[in-house]
């Protein structure tokens, strides 16, 4: 039930916002508890948006042949 609430609340952020949150989180040295305030989201909602953003980035990179890493 909690995940459904977060999913509905997460719609107030666009896909671009979610990717921005994810990139900011991945490249920042700040902790998540400090970053969620910048986006005006509760900590749990911010965490959920980060998960969605990471999943989206991975899904796009898996399907992109230029994003493959070749290991000898």
Give pLDDT tens digits along the chain (72 positions).
445 555 555 567 888 888 888 898 889 888 877 888 888 888 888 888 889 999 988 998 888 888 887 787
Residue 54: inside a domain = yes
How far, in Å, CA of 8 to CA of 45, rounded? 10
pTM for the structure as a whole: 0.70
Question: Is-contact 38 49, C-beta < 8 A?
Answer: no
Is 72 inside a domain boundary? no
Structural domain span for residue 25? 2-67
Strand, helix or coil for residue 14: coil
Domain count, the chain: 1
Cα dist. 17→13, 37, 63, 64, 67 in Å?
A: 6, 14, 22, 22, 23
């Amino acid at each position: 039930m909690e995940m459904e609430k977060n999913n509905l609340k997460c719609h107030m952020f666009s896909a671009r916002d979610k990717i921005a949150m994810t990139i900011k989180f991945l490249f920042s040295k700040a902790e998540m508890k400090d970053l969620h305030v910048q986006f005006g989201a509760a900590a749990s909602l911010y965490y959920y948006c980060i998960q969605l953003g990471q999943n989206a980035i991975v899904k796009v990179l898996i399907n992109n042949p230029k994003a493959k890493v070749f290991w000898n």
